[in-house]
Structure 1
Amino acid sequence: MTTGGFDPAYSQTASIKPGGLGKRAGARFVDWIIAGIIGAIFFWLLGVVWDAPDWVSVLPGAGFGWLYFVLFEVSSGSTPGKKLLGLHVNGSGGAPKPSFKDSAVRNVYMLLNLIPWVGGLLWFIAAIAIAVTINGSPTKQGWHDNAAGGTQVIDT
């Protein structure tokens, strides 16, 4: 039952529609492609122009994706993939976009790839846990959204 436009099941106004798992996964895929292209060009230039050793350009590569998501979410509330699919990230407490801390925390699982040998597996487990918790939540918030103070991806 809603009263005054507020739906307690969503803990937000009833007009807000949470972004579903399929759209969120599609947006993430688009963003990986974009970040991959930008990162490849950047790290190629790092190696060619500055003649950096191969290991120098590989190490920050895993953190580049994290930085891509954080900077776009903090600056506009959406990454290019989210914008393309009509999604937006609200910050904690219903803020119109996440703070640096909100976005850094909600995307920190991506840095698991920096751990030698097991990082990819740990990242995969975290991503599966995110999908399961998004799918099981009436507000479509994953564990990473809750850890970031209640950020929420919504349909715009």
Structure 2
Amino acid sequence: MPRFLARLIDHILVGVVFVPIYVVLNIIIYSGFRNSFGEHFIFYTLSAILQAAIFVAYFALLESNRGQTVGKMAMKLRTYGPDGVSNPTMEQAVKRNIYAGLGVLSIIPIIGWFFLGWAAPLAAMVFIAITLNNDQPNHQGWHDKFAGGTKVMQVG
């Protein structure tokens, strides 16, 4: 449960940063009032790429440099590299959090806009929850194993 709450806090914080970007992008692209397919495609493509980049960068930069995101700090959790002592490398942190960029699938016209852009990230999070719960006693999700065996542990 602490890992879920840490992610929730982080997603809220990143969302607070992304929403104004989304609104400004929306205003810029749709200011012509044409509302054409091309405008929709450009808007969804740019917003999906920016969102994926912001989410992955937030998690990867903080975990590789500090071992903790803001949410993990609040929940007294820390991400360790496979050695269990040091922070994950940038590569490990990106691998561990790459699923946060699955929203980029929303660039696929129609099916991405209305389904894949939210369903793929949700499916990844559910799968992570299941694999965390099933991996006793380590509680490593598939994303931890994909990153070479990163570990999230209680601190303090």
- 1:48-82 residue CA offsets vs partner (Å, 9 max, x unmatched): 9xx85362752312331111111111110000000
Q: Does 1:108 align with 2:98?
A: yes
Q: Which residue of 1 aligns with 2:29?
A: 53
Residues matched between the structures, number: 132
Higher RCO (C-alpha under 8 Å, 6+ residues apart): 1
Cα distance in 2 between the residues matched to 1:34 and 1:145: 22
TM-score, normalization by structure 2: 0.76
Once superposed, what is the RMSD of the aligned Cα atoms? 2.1
- Residue pair 1:131, 1:142 contacting (<8 A) in 2 also: yes
Cα distance in 1 for residues equivalent to 2:69 and 2:60: 9
1:62 to 33, 36, 52: 52
Alpha-carbon separation, structure 1, partners of 2:5 and 2:103: 21
For the Cα contact (< 8 Å) 1:43–1:57, is it kept in 2?
no
Structure 1 counterpart SS, 2:6: helix
Q: Secondary structure at the match of 1:97?
A: coil
Structure-to-structure mapping, 1:1-16, within 5 angstroms = none
| Percent identity (aligned) | 30
Q: List per-residue Cα deviations over 1:5-53 (Å, max 9, x = no partner).
A: xxxxxxxxxxxxxxxxx00000000001111112234555x649xx853
> What are the equivalent positions in structure 2 for 1:95-134 lying under 5 Å apart?
95-116=85-106, 117=112, 118-134=116-132
Which has more helix, going by share of residues? Answer: 2
**Structure 1 position 36 matched with structure 2 position 26:** no
- Structure 2 counterpart of 1:71, from 43, 61, 83: 61
Structure 2, gaps ≥5 residues long:
31-42, 107-111
